[in-house]
Chain A
């Protein structure tokens, strides 16, 4: 899946 995990950072 497209990793937009960095959005879990502040």
Chain B
């Protein structure tokens, strides 16, 4: 464990806590894409298949349980909670995320480190996570008013993967044969997808204005 990875995990944890806090306290999911949340639940389900068979550390297991629990409960809130679901903007959240799942699965079947079920599912979760934010970014472009909790959520979610890239660089230079191209490329693509969001987020922060993305 290095500082970049710990910071990345904490940033990721904060992003889901910010979102859960928003949904649980103000009982609203305005501006939040259910499709991105469903993709994330699928990412964690596919990535943490070995949560009970492959014990790494208490930290690792606890964090996996938190990410699984939070992503599925956010999906539950947005789908079934009688108050929260009313604030879900379903005719704006129209990104066909099923068109993301299949290509990621096919790509994972083609490009992976080992052709085993667990490894393919793990690789699938990497590719899917790289594009999971797209429905949310599209929704942000559409909904003019981005409340700052949703803005913070997206920012933290992008920042965590950027910190993970620093972690991979650190591990590459400190651990022999630590080479994982698939993880690195998909992590880089994921972070680049946030590039323009980061730009506008920083601009709004610098000019102390409300965050709004150009149409």
Chain B residues contacting A10 (CB-CB under 8 Å) are 9, 12, 60, 63-64, 67
Q: Is there a chain A Cβ closer than 8 Å to B110's Cβ?
A: no
A6, B5: Cα distance in complex, Å = 12
B122 partner residues in chain A, CB cutoff 8 A: 7
* Chain A facing B: main interface SS: helix
- Which residues of chain B are within 8 angstroms of A9 by Cβ–Cβ distance? 5, 164, 167, 183
What residues of chain A lie closer than 8 Å to B26, measured between beta carbons? none
Total residues of chain A contacting the partner, CB 8 A: 7
A8: min CB distance to chain B, Å: 5
A5 to B60: give the CA distance in the assembly, Å: 13
Give chain A's interface residues, CB within 8 Å of chain B: 3, 5-10
12 A/B residue pairs, CB under 8 Å, sorted by A: A3-B177, A3-B178, A5-B175, A6-B180, A8-B56, A8-B60, A9-B5, A9-B164, A9-B167, A10-B12, A10-B60, A10-B63
